[in-house]
Amino acid sequence: MRDMACAGPYFSKLLLNAILFTVSKHSPRSEIRSNPDDITTAGWRFRQRFTDLLRDNFDKSKVTTIQALLIMSNSLFSRCDERSLSWLYAGNAFNMIIDLGLHVAASGDNMSAEELEIRKRVLWGAYLTTAIDKIQCLLQGRPPLLRHNNIKASLKFLDEYDELDPFQALTYKQLSPTPAVPSLNVSLLTKLCELSVIIDRILCELYSESAQMMRGQSEGISDKINSELCRWRQNLPPELDYLYHPSQAVLLPQAFCLLALFNVLIILSKRPLFTGNDERPNNPAAAFESINTCTAAANQIVQILRDYSQHFAISSAPYMLSYATYISATIHARIVAQKGKSSTSFQSLTLCRSVLQEHQCLYGAAGKARESLERLCDHLSIDSAEDCAQTHVFTEAVPREPMVTNGPSQSLNASSIPDQPIEITSQINWGLSDLDLEAIAQGFRFDGELDYLMHPVGM
């Protein structure tokens, strides 16, 4: 905003139009839509202007062009479901990052402190957030373009002033007035970056093409990654973890997303243990423990969705929650296929379907996810008739229901949640002990046939 006012180097019309297109999906104003009656057409003039301006900026590596390309890449993927163009924009942004040397530790001799901090934040922002690189890789089955082992810049930020910026709830549709709270921008960025480093390991060590040659080692690799995730959770600042520290937590939409992403990674780190090359579990004991762990993580994602809906409109939630909803639903569907509609998992699956339907008006990718989930349910012979009758069961203020979780109580009451974190794998759910492991393993083979899901075993 400062550089916009004084024609500084960190403003560009390209970046401005990328921002306007991205946030336009939250605006109720019909005049910014190409079709006044269709919310999905909001901001298309900003996109057209972005495309026109890009012709004059495409051959010059600039920080503002990198930011604009990354912002548009995320919107094109999550909102428009244009995966190829999204991938190409992100790739060009990453090439510009390397061209400018943002991925290495810059000397401060000929740069101001502000410039050094901006370079570092743009780099780490590109590495992880907005789901541009790592999450798209998970969804599209492509190798990450920006690897952690190629980054030499520190994750320690010099400026923490924006940590205390007041949180603005405008696009999140806060359901009830609350006192002003800090946005915790630096803490959220740092912890998301740390999770993204773990995503890098999951991609390259468990899901890459070369990893298929090491299936016998997958159990050990999975255990190491799972331990790393548990350490990350234990070291999460109390203000970002309302499940373990409700009395100290700041309830921010991004903090809910952070916890949801953690549970997604728990699932992704354990799922390779379900199947072997012969479509049977490599190790039945490890497979059972993995199913239990994944079910616990899927339960906690549903709990996070319920809790989010108590404070913010679920229909305008960040795309990360939509992604986590889909991952959770694929686990619940497997349990429902064997346990039936009387199980808690059926209630959770119904909620997940409803959330994805709510998100379709904002995110084209959520619609694709729901289609894939319905194909999976058809494959597992799960009747969706009852679910259709409960389309709006997930309202903005849905009452809390008892359900199995992987640790803390469901209530946000501080007195009912332990101060110390409970390991996600610490409790075995004996209700799952009679599951048909071979049927589940073969079901994950079907995942790989769904074009929405990640390579090689799906999500």
Mean pLDDT for the stretch of residues 165-179: 81
Average pLDDT over residues 379-392: 60
Give the mean model confidence (pLDDT) for residues 89-100: 89
pLDDT at 51 over 70: yes
Residue 12 is assigned to a structural domain of this protein: yes
* Same domain flag for 282 and 423: yes
Which residues are within 8 A (CB) of 434 and not within 5 positions of it... i.e. 6 or more apart? none
The confidence band for 347, taking pLDDT boundaries of 50, 70 and 90, is very high
132/211 same-domain check = no
Which pLDDT score is estimated for 285?
A: 74
Task: Summarize pLDDT for 130-139 with one digit per residue, the tens.
Answer: 445 566 565 5
18-32, 158-172, 365-379, 441-455, range with the lowest pLDDT: 441-455
HSE on the CB side for 89, CA within 13 Å?
Answer: 27
Q: Which of 345-349, 358-362, 418-422 is predicted most confidently?
A: 345-349
Pair of tokens at residue 248: 């100290």
**Mean pLDDT, residues 409-427 taken together:** 37
User: 95-111 pLDDT, tens per residue?
Assistant: 898 898 888 766 666 78
Let me know if residue 153 belongs to a domain: no
Question: Is 155 part of a structural domain of the chain?
Answer: no
Who wins on pLDDT, 71 or 150?
Answer: 71
Q: Which of 99, 120, 148 is the last residue of a domain?
A: 148
The whole domain housing 207 covers: 160-459
Check residues 176 and 92 and name the one with the higher pLDDT: 92
Q: Is residue 347 part of a domain?
A: yes
For residues 21 and 127, membership in a common domain is answered with yes
The answer to the question of residue 112 being in a domain is yes
94 and 220 co-located in one domain: no
What domain count does the chain have? 2
Within-domain flag for 93: yes
Q: Are residues 167 and 142 part of one domain?
A: no
Query: What are the φ/ψ torsions at residue 236 (nearest 5 degrees)?
Result: -70, 130
How high is the pLDDT of residue 298? 94
Mean model confidence pLDDT for the chain: 77
Is residue 335 predicted with pLDDT exceeding 80? yes
Asked if 237 and 315 sit in the same domain, the reply is: yes
Res 128 pLDDT > 70: no
Q: What is the pLDDT of residue 216?
A: 58
Q: Bigger pLDDT: 53 or 75?
A: 53
Same domain, 181 and 130: no
Question: Do residue 180 and residue 144 come from a single domain?
Answer: no
Report the pLDDT value the prediction gives residue 448, as an integer from 0 to 100. Answer: 47
pLDDT at 179: 81
Does 128 share its domain with 185? no
Higher pLDDT, 158 or 459: 158
- Position 262 scores a pLDDT of 95
Choosing from 92, 125, 148, the residue where a domain stops is 148
80 and 207 inside one domain: no
Range with top average pLDDT, 185-199, 299-313, 352-366: 299-313
pLDDT at 442: 55
Would you place residue 449 in the very low, low, confident or very high pLDDT band (cuts 50, 70, 90)? Answer: very low
What is the per-residue pLDDT across 277-298, written as a single tens digit (0 to 9) for each? 444 555 677 777 888 888 999 9
Q: Is residue 429 in some structural domain?
A: yes
Residue 154 lies in a domain: no
pLDDT at residue 67 tops 90: yes
Same domain, 344 and 441: yes
Rounded to 5 degrees, φ, ψ at 327 are -60, -45
Q: Kindly state whether residues 142 and 171 are assigned to the same domain.
A: no
Pick the last residue of a domain from 148, 181, 196.
148
Contact 147, 335 (CB under 8 A): no
Q: Is the pLDDT score of 55 beyond 60?
A: yes
